[in-house]
Amino acid sequence: MTEALVTPQLLKWARERRHFSVHTAANKVNVEPHKLDAWEKGQERPTLRQAQSLAQTLNVPFGYLFLSIPPIEKLPLPDFRTVTGTPSSTPSPEFADVLNDALRKQEWYHDYQKSEGAHPIAFIGRFTRKDNAEMVAADIRKALRVNDDMRRHSQNWEQFLSEFVRRVENAGVLVLRSGIVGTNTYRKLDVQEFRGFAISDNLSPLIFINAQDAKAAQIFTLAHELAHLWIGESGISNPDYTKRSSQQQHLLDRFCDQIAAETLVPNQDFLSRWQDKRPLEDNLQILATLYKVSEFVVLRRAYDNDKVSHSEYEARFQKLLDRGRRKLKDGGGDFYRALLVRNSNTLTLTLLSAVSEGRLSHRDAAQLLSVKLKTLIQVQKNILGTAFANA
């Protein structure tokens, strides 16, 4: 059997990058843990087939295992998840894959829009980080008609989110929502790593939302990423309006959180609805249901307006934390509906139309939608109809 002259250090780097233990990684490639440990220490070498299997399992290019030192993986967008803007750790393969996939989609749509003679979207970069958060939020609400009528027609958070996304896409922004890489349900995204990101572009702006999060949290993330577009700044985010101190957060992300909160829960409207004589728990539940946000956001609004003391805020915050995040399935059970949600309704229909018009190959469309070639035909039949599928 031909031995693969892999670099032991790179084997360990690739495994740790996936957050796999030696035991877990060994099981996935059907070898004994002591065997993998020996490879990582340079005491033995894997066969060529074993090395290829390991690279596939660890989601790294096969050639990486032969490098002398681990590659430096840089994110292609500004990272606002930390105060300094510097990533605290190497991005997971899952995060890197969805980010690069979104960039490919955005670049294709940009070229398409340009070829169609599309006009620049007026609200992209309309404001700057020096502007007033309330002013930016008011413009977002006006442009997307985020108001009481929209809330009244949404029976729950899921309906509100769907309608919110629909309005954002109608305004010209691609919205991708997924909790997994492509269609691989085994490769789930981690909300602790990121909740969303925005690509600011006046022809093809894009927002990605981590669908592993609760629906109320996804709504806030969407509003947060819209703030990034309105001030014309791309970036990776982990929105958290509830953070106790602004020192815990990058200034720009804090600003976008303030815009998001004001977009969803306008402060003057909030003050008119808050009832001081009503129990705190009732206020939180009633207003969270009304505004279609989490109780965390309402609690923070109350704290910022001196409606609850610091000790009350901390106690209630911890109580809400203890409830835990609801585990949600990604995209629902309908494959075609999930495809539209994950790839953006606008982008999916545009891609399928481009295929039917002969402007894009079936193979390229399948790659952009992260589906197999044979699946694309069924997608066309179910989404565009048999006329397009047979064109």
Q: What is the pLDDT of residues 316-328, one digit of tens each?
A: 887 877 665 444 4
* pLDDT value at 88 more than 60: no
Model pLDDT for residues 9-37, shown as the tens digit of each residue: 989 988 887 778 999 999 988 999 998 99
pLDDT band at 85 (very low <50, low <70, confident <90, very high): very low
pLDDT of residue 216: 84
Whole-prediction pTM value?
Answer: 0.80
Helix (H) or strand (E) holding 196: strand 196-199
**Domain extents for the chain?**
8-66, 93-323, 335-389
Tokens of 377: 């035909």
Q: Mean pLDDT, to the nearest integer, of 376-388?
A: 71
Tokens of 223: 């509003």
Residues 111 and 354: their CA atoms lie apart, in Å, by 12
Residues 216 and 220: their CA atoms lie apart, in Å, by 7
**Which top CATH class is 8-66?**
mainly alpha
Task: Identify the residue with better confidence: 241 or 312.
Answer: 312
Looking at 76-173, list the stretches that DSSP marks H as alpha helix, in order from N- to C-terminal side. Answer: 93-115, 133-144, 148-152, 157-170
Residues 6+ apart with CB under 8 A from 69: 9
Closest CA to 368 of 172, 115, 94, 103: 103
Model pLDDT for residues 223-246, shown as the tens digit of each residue: 999 999 999 999 887 765 555 445
Instruction: Give the lowest-confidence range in 63-67, 320-324, 378-382.
Output: 320-324
Instruction: Give the lowest-confidence range in 205-214, 242-251, 284-293, 353-362.
Output: 242-251
pLDDT of residue 82: 52
Half-sphere exposure at residue 183, Cβ-oriented, CA atoms within 13 angstroms: 16
Tokens of 1: 């059997």
Displacement of CA 143 from its chain's centroid (Å): 23
pLDDT of residue 78: 66
Task: Identify the residue with better confidence: 385 or 194.
Answer: 194
Model pLDDT for residues 141-190, shown as the tens digit of each residue: 999 999 989 988 888 888 999 999 999 999 999 999 999 998 888 889 98
- CB burial string 22-43: b at 16+ within 10 A, e below: beebbebbebeeeebbbbbeee
Q: Phi/psi of residue 198, each to 5°?
A: -130, 140
Residues 383 and 391: their CA atoms lie apart, in Å, by 14
pLDDT of residue 322: 66
